[in-house]
């Protein structure tokens, strides 16, 4: 599979549950799924060699997130399901053809900061309901989104768990102050952030996701 996270999503949904291995040759804008597998987007040749070696041996088995929505077929994801500010940033970045890579996401973030606001969410985390307001929510089984933002640096593709990432309502200046540390993973101790492990998360927000 040659491309970015969008192509990986298509491949995952085509091959989930089969015995056909998925090889990822990172060539997209974000390449977060590849990064979580330690594949360097700047070195596609090594990614090809890695896949060929895996085919000759025993391919690695990965966890997938399963998305279930009323009246729709289940979908799978390898990486993160986002709802809130980050989803809006991703939508805007995907609508631009230039620039490529991380800069595109950074510019989209600056654009979305103009209308930054918290949303109301209804969550059920491993059977326990909660109501909260949040600026950003992601349910991840990978480490990063948006071209290398390490939102859940301890997440693993094969630990049987999801990582729930939540940013509480914050002023723009606080968000801007936290943001640079996301690329190094140093943001995890900030008091406005919540990261917790779960196996099942139900998520709803009026006008955004139901």
Rounded distance between C-alpha atoms, residue 23 and residue 37, angstroms = 11
Q: Are residues 30 and 95 in the same domain?
A: no
Q: Are residues 32 and 82 in the same domain?
A: no
Total number of domains constituting the chain: 2
Within a domain: residue 73?
A: no
pLDDT digits 0-9 by tens, 102-118: 788 778 878 878 777 88
Within a domain: residue 132?
A: yes
Lowest mean pLDDT among 48-57, 94-103, 125-134, 135-144: 94-103
Within a domain: residue 159?
A: yes
Q: Are residues 22 and 46 in the same domain?
A: yes
pLDDT band at 12 (very low <50, low <70, confident <90, very high): very high
Check residues 159 and 53 and name the one with the higher pLDDT.
Answer: 159
The number of helices, as runs of H, and strands, as runs of E, in the chain is 6, 11
Q: Are residues 117 and 161 in the same domain?
A: yes
pLDDT over 80 (residue 171): yes
Within a domain: residue 195?
A: yes
Last residue of a domain, one of 11, 39, 67: 67
Within a domain: residue 209?
A: no
- pTM for the structure as a whole: 0.85
pLDDT digits 0-9 by tens, 63-110: 999 999 889 999 999 999 888 777 777 778 778 877 777 788 778 878
pLDDT band at 11 (very low <50, low <70, confident <90, very high): very high
Q: Which stretches of 16-152 are DSSP H helices?
A: 32-36, 44-56, 85-94, 102-113
Q: Are residues 87 and 45 in the same domain?
A: no
Q: Are residues 140 and 90 in the same domain?
A: yes
Rounded distance between C-alpha atoms, residue 182 and residue 166, angstroms = 13
Cis peptide leading into residue 29 (ω within 30°) = no
Number of neighbours of residue 125 by Cβ within 10 angstroms: 18
Rounded distance between C-alpha atoms, residue 50 and residue 44, angstroms = 10
Q: Are residues 47 and 150 in the same domain?
A: no
What integer best gives the mean pLDDT of the chain?
88
CA distances from 168 to 24, 164, 183 (A): 34, 13, 19
Rounded distance between C-alpha atoms, residue 47 and residue 131, angstroms = 42
Q: Are residues 59 and 84 in the same domain?
A: no
Q: Are residues 106 and 160 in the same domain?
A: yes
Q: What pLDDT does residue 209 have?
A: 65
CATH number of domain containing 179:
2.60.200.40
- Owning domain of residue 16: 2-67
Helix (H, G, I), strand (E, B) or coil at 95: coil
Rounded distance between C-alpha atoms, residue 33 and residue 118, angstroms = 27
Q: Are residues 129 and 180 in the same domain?
A: yes
Q: Are residues 116 and 25 in the same domain?
A: no
């Amino acid at each position: 599979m040659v491309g970015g996270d969008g192509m990986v999503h298509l491949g995952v949904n085509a091959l989930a549950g089969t015995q056909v291995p998925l090889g990822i040759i990172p060539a997209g804008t974000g390449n977060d799924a590849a990064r979580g597998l330690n594949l360097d987007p700047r070195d596609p040749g090594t990614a090809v060699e890695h896949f060929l070696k895996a085919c000759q041996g025993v391919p690695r088995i990965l966890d997938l997130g399963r998305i279930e929505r009323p009246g729709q077929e289940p979908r799978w994801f390898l990486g993160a399901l986002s709802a809130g500010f980050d989803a809006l940033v991703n939508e805007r970045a995907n609508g631009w053809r230039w620039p490529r890579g991380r800069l595109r996401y950074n510019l989209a973030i600056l654009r979305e900061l103009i209308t930054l606001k918290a949303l109301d969410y209804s969550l059920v985390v491993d059977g326990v309901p909660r109501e909260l307001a949040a600026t950003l929510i992601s349910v991840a089984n990978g480490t990063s989104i948006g071209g290398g933002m390490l939102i859940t640096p301890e997440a693993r593709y094969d630990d049987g768990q999801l990582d729930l990432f939540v940013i509480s309502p914050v002023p723009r200046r606080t968000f801007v102050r936290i943001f640079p540390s996301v690329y190094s993973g140093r943001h995890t101790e900030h008091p406005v952030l919540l990261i917790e492990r779960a196996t099942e998360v139900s998520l709803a927000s009026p006008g955004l996701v139901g």
